[in-house]
Amino acid sequence: MNKLVTAAITIAVALTTFPALAQQTPANSGSPTPLRHLVYRFGYNVKAASQGTNTGTTTIDILGSAADGGMTMTATDDWWNTARPRQSYTCELYPNGGVTCAQPPYALSPIQLAVVPLLGKHYFAALSAGSHSTWTQAYNVRATFFPGASSGFAGQVYTWNCALTLNGKGTIPEQPPLIQIQSNGTFNQQGGRYTKFSQKAGILFDPRIKMPVYVSQLLQLVPQQSVNSYSVELKLTSYK
């Protein structure tokens, strides 16, 4: 957790600029104004950075309630040094962290998979009992998100059962009062090859804005094979 604490201190300083950033209104051309507009800087198998290979930003807009109780959301990755953002994905996000992508291309990117479930309304509800709370989180993700096209999974939609244990590690002393959380668990594919991933993540949660401001996730194939593992690091840079 030492690296996580170091990152927390850096983020805590950066977050002091958020009041100004939070007032920014995302540009749109006739699209509905999102209820929440979040921008995370990411690194895919590298550290999150403002520039460099395998870095970029992902923008997440929570648009409103869906008929089945979920929240409609869109997510778009914008990779560094590319001419335009990649395709936007529209899915439904549920309070427990579940995600269903029922519109073509039925997808979440590996970047988005690391953070979108954490935006579920009740995902961190256990922290109301204290910053050292321990709880389990179980939800399903129905989408295609496998990162390697050569694997044969890309473009195929599966349901993944996600079962995680989260441990609150208390707040860091710097302001704002970020809560450190460690997450461990599994992602189990239903159908297909019944692939299984182990998941480890360090999270920093800001109870004032009720969202994660830092995520460092590692997914590894079980049994582990180095070619079937990847990491994602995200840092919240602006929100509305």
pLDDT digits (tens, 9 = 90+) for 71-117: 999 999 999 998 887 888 999 999 999 999 998 889 999 999 999 99
Q: Are 38 and 59 in contact (CB under 8 A)?
A: yes
Confidence (pTM):
0.85
Contact 167, 179 (CB under 8 A): no
Round to whole Å and give the CA distance between 81 and 104. 26
Question: Whole-angstrom distance between the N-terminal and C-terminal Cα of the chain?
Answer: 29
User: Strand 99-100 vs strand 89-93: parallel, antiparallel, or unpaired?
Assistant: antiparallel
Residue written as tokens 């009062």? Answer: 177
- CA 195 to CA 146: how far, in whole Å? 11
**What residues contact 198, with CB distance under 8 A and at least 6 apart?**
184, 185, 186, 219, 220, 222, 224
Residue located via tokens 């180095």: 226
Nearest to 62 by CA among 217, 211, 201: 211
CA angle at 135 for the pair 93 and 1, rounded to the nearest 5°: 95
What is the rounded CA–CA span in Å between residue 96 and residue 125?
9
According to DSSP, the residues that pair with 144 across neighbouring strands are 107
Tell me the pLDDT of the chain (240 aa) as tens digits.
455 545 544 544 444 333 333 434 444 445 678 889 999 999 999 999 999 999 999 999 999 888 777 899 999 999 999 888 788 899 999 999 999 999 888 999 999 999 999 999 999 999 999 999 999 999 999 998 755 433 334 568 999 999 999 999 999 887 779 999 999 999 999 988 888 999 999 999 999 999 999 999 999 988 776 667 899 999 999 999
Q: Is 225 helix (H, G, I), strand (E, B) or coil?
A: coil
- DSSP code, position 33: P
